Structure 1
Amino acid sequence: MKLYRLLTAQDDSAFCHKVTAALNKGWDLYGSPTYAWNQETRQMMCGQAVVKDVEGKDYTPDTKLSEH
C-alpha cells in the first residue's frame, strides 16, 4: 500500500524538523515544496508532500498516517 501525507507548517525550523523526522521514518519526498502567504496570520506557510510504501497493510480512512 502506498501512503501519502502533506506536511504543512509555518516557514521556520520546526517545519524542516517535521520533514526531517518523516524522512527518517522512511517517507520519501514527493514533488517540490510549496509556499503560501497566510493573510490572516500574516505568516509564510510551507507544504511538502511525502509518500511511503507499506507492506502487509490495507488502507482504510482510519489509517493513522503519522504512525507509519
Structure 2
Amino acid sequence: MYLRRIEHTANLYRYYRLQIVRGLFDDWGLIREWGRIGSTGRMRTDWFDSEDDAKDARFELHMQKAKRGYE
C-alpha cells in the first residue's frame, strides 16, 4: 500500500508505504517506510504472530494516515 500527501503551498511532499511480509519463523511483519518523495526514507518492521494481526495493524495505520491527509 502506497500513500502520498502533497501540499504545494506548504512545500510538503511525503509518502508512506505499508507492506506485509512473512517471516522465517511463521511470524508476519509489517514493513513501514516513510519520508519525503524522491529521497530515501526511514524504515521500520513490526512483527506479529498472525497475518490477521498484521493486517489489523496495517488498517489502523492506514486510517491514522488518512486522517492526516494521506491518499
TM over 0.5: no
**TM-score of the superposition, structure 2-length normalised?**
0.29
Higher normalized contact order (CA 8 Å, seq sep 6+, divided by chain length):
1
**TM-score of the superposition, structure 1-length normalised?**
0.30
